Structures are given as C-alpha cells and as structure tokens.
Amino acid sequence: MSPTEAGIYGFLILVALMFLKIPVGFVMALVGLGGFAYLVTWDAALQLIAQDFFSVFGSYNLTVIPLFVLMGQVAHHAGISGRLFNAANKFLGHLRGGLAVATIGACAGFSAICGSTSATAATMASVALPQMKKYNYDPALATGVVAAGGSLGILIPPSTIFIIYGILTEQSIGKLFLAGVMPGILMALLFVATIFIWTKFRPELVTPAPRSTFREKIASLAGVIETFILFAAVMGGLFLGIFTPTEAAAVGAFGTILIALAGRNLTWKGFVQALNETTRVSCMILVIVAGATVFGHFLAVTRIPFDVGSWVQGLPLSPNMIMALIIFIYVLMGCLMDSLAMITLTIPIIYPVITSLGFDPIWFGVIIVVVTEMGVITPPVGINVYVVAGVARDVPLHVIFRGALHMLMAQLATALLLILFPQIALWLPQLMH
C-alpha cells in the first residue's frame, strides 16, 4: 500500500470512528499512531506520540486556553451574563422584538469574556428564555435567537477556535483576535436586523416589554461597565503590543475574578465549580490539539497535503472559485461535525492550499470561524440547538431548528460581506503594533 493510499484509508477510518462518538482527540492520536507506525516503524511512532503530547501539554503558548476558559467560567458563575441581559433589556426591551435584540446584545457582551459558543448559548438560554416566555414570545423565535446568538462566542474574541487555528497555522493569535472584532459586531448587527424584519412581518410573535425609566437604565449599567472596560483593556493591550496573548488572557482572568469579588457575586462554591469546569474543558481542548498534531505528522508522511495542494493548483479554476468550493465543503462538514474537530482535522490539508493561492491566512481564519458558526445551528449536529433544547425542555427540537434557521441568513450575509470586503477583518490587525 502506497503512502497516499494509507493516508486515505486512515482518513476514512478517522471519520468512521468519529461518527461512533469516540472522543475526537483520542481518535486522531490513535489513527495517527497506527498510520505512522505502518509507514515508518512502531518505535518511531511511539516516540512521535510521546514527543507530540509532551510538547503540546508543555507549550507556553497553549496556556492561553485555560486562562481564557477560566475567564469565561468565572464570569458565568458570577452572574455577569444576567447583568448584561438586564442592562440590554432596560435599554431595548420596549421595542418590538426588543427582548430578542437584548439577548443578542447580551450574547455579544458575554462572548467578549467567554470564548465558547455552547457556554454562551447555555448561559443566555437560562437567563433570557424565561423573560421572553413571560412576554409570550414565540418559542421558535425565542430559542432560535438564543441558539444563533450563542454562535458569537467563537467569533468575538477571545475565541478557542482562533487560538487553535493560530497554533496549527503558526499565525499570530493577537491578530486573529483583532480580526474577529469587526466581523463579530457586523454579525450581531445583522442578527438584530433579522429580528426587526422578522417581527415587522410577524408582529404577533412578540410582546414588547414595559419601557424602563432613565434612572432604571442608568442603574442597570452597574456591574456591566466594568466588564466592557476589562474587554477594552485586554484587546487594547493586544492591539498596542503591551500584552502577548497569554499575558492578555492572564489579565482577563484576574480582572474577571476581581470584578466578581468586588461585586460580591462569586461564592466559594461557584469559584470551585469554575475551576473544575476550566480543568475539564482545557484538558479536552489540549487532547484534541495533541491528537491533531500526531495525525498531522502522519498526513505529512503520506504527502497528502502536498498532493492536494498540487492538484488544486492544477485545476482550471480561478483562486476565487477554489475558495468558494472550499467554503462550500466547510458548510457541508459543519452540518455533520463539531467545529473544533472540523478545524483540527482539515486545517493541515487545507491551509497549504490557501497559502499557495495567495489568500491572507488571517482573513481565511475569520472566514472559517464564520462558516463553522453556521454548523452550530444547522441540522443534524447543531450543537447550540441541542444546548438550548436542554434548557427549554418544553420546546420541541424541530421548533428550535426552525427558529435558528431564520438567523442563518445573517451568518451567510456576514460571510459574503467578508469575501467581498476582506478589510472588514483585516483593518484592525493591519493597525496592530
């Protein structure tokens, strides 16, 4: 069997095992180990897996992951998400569809300190859905907005997907974070526009909340302004070159703990739960990265990435057509596979193709994140839909999917605008010192 054939069989075995619900990190490590042993030797394979796992778990650059995860977990257990929603509700709740708009605003704010799409969806579902149910919001609209709003967690920095992409491609994590800011704001605004259009043609779906007084609006900002100041400090430090991404993560985590303690919103039990969840999530991500590293070394021996790159370059298509084809493949894969698994699996193959075609790797990273965002609300995987369904147990799964698919148009529009106007993503990174 040739190296290329071994690589193809290895890839098929990998996909088959993933559909059996075996953890993707372990699957990639085992397939990579077996394939490398077949093509080289067992001794070399065992040395490779030991070296790769040690280098990943001992990597200074990867300490950014548990720090940002801790930042999000502390924010969750300190009730910051609830205060964000309350503030947004006071300012916007009286509008037609205002509670849904407030949910998007709170999702965007919480995403700025969380970095996880499922965590954002779960947190905002528990906060926003009872309020929307209270004012007789249509279940499809209410749950769909929460599921879609949660997807902002992997676009607005800090984002675990950006961190993984940056490590796999050796791109600046700081630049990737900055590249996600404007597209994240754009998508949030398009979500809001979708809600306004939806409720304009179907006003019976919503009931406006009472208008808040000016005093109530100002009072709702307590405990929220500090969060935005912290986000500005973290991103500003990255932008000005004061912090490395790891230092920024440390500042963010420490600042979030200080805000929680100052407001007396964090109990010892909540802090311990935050630490436990941080450990679980961080270990899961690190195992996936380590497994992807082993599998990537196996692919390198098969020369499949280089063969695919040569084949694509030889196609009678323009670079833009090839990019459109790649995006279409990612959209289809996003319907069947977890976003993190998809990124770690495909980037070793796709990235050399992208660079050979002359596309900006930072811009491509944002495109990939936007496209994978679609996967979290589209069937059959749609992880955010299942997360929301776990909170809203009285709403059927197909109703949540129906509501989320209305918001898919905003994600498609964001991807199209980024393709037509790459500077939306590249403007801030280009200003970075």
Q: How far apart (Å, rounded) are the C-alpha atoms in residues 102 and 111? A: 14
Q: What is the mean pLDDT of residues 344-361?
A: 85
**Highest mean pLDDT: which range of 27-41, 317-331, 368-382:** 27-41
Q: What is the pLDDT averaged over residues 397-403?
A: 90
pTM flag (> 0.85): no
Position 241 scores a pLDDT of: 80
Residue 245 pLDDT exceeds 70: yes
The pLDDT assigned to 261 comes to 85
Higher pLDDT, 127 or 194: 194
Tally the domains of the chain. 1
Q: What would the mean pLDDT of 392-400 be, rounded to a whole number? A: 87
Q: Is residue 210 part of a domain?
A: yes
Query: What pLDDT sits at residue 410?
Result: 92
In a domain? residue 22: no
By percentage, how much of the chain surpasses pLDDT 70? Answer: 98
Task: Give the residue among 115, 162, 110 at the shortest CA–CA distance from 281.
Answer: 115
What integer best gives the mean pLDDT of the chain?
85
Is residue 179 a contact partner of residue 428, using CB atoms and an 8 Å limit? yes
Question: Looking at residue 422, what is its pLDDT?
Answer: 93
- Of residues 171 and 222, the one with the higher pLDDT is 171
Structure-model confidence comparison of residues 418 and 158, the more confident one: 418
Please check whether residue 213 lies inside any domain of the structure: yes
Give the model's confidence band at 144: pLDDT under 50 very low, under 70 low, under 90 confident, else very high. very high
Would you say residue 30 lies in a domain?
A: no
Domain ranges, residue 190: 62-284+305-431
296 domain residue, yes or no: no
More confident residue, 116 or 165: 165
Instruction: Quick: pLDDT tens for 90-104.
Output: 888 788 888 899 899
CA-CA distance, 374 to 151, in Å (whole number)?
8
Highest mean pLDDT of the ranges 22-26, 277-281, 425-429? 425-429
- Identify the top-confidence range among 53-62, 158-167, 226-235, 406-415: 406-415
Of 223 and 217, the structure prediction assigns the larger pLDDT to 217
- Is it the case that residue 336 has pLDDT exceeding 70? no
For residue 107, being part of any structural domain is answered with yes
Q: Is residue 81 part of a domain?
A: yes
pLDDT value for 433: 55
In a domain, 3, yes or no: no
Comparing 153 with 187, the larger pLDDT belongs to 187
Q: What percent of the chain has pLDDT over 90?
A: 17
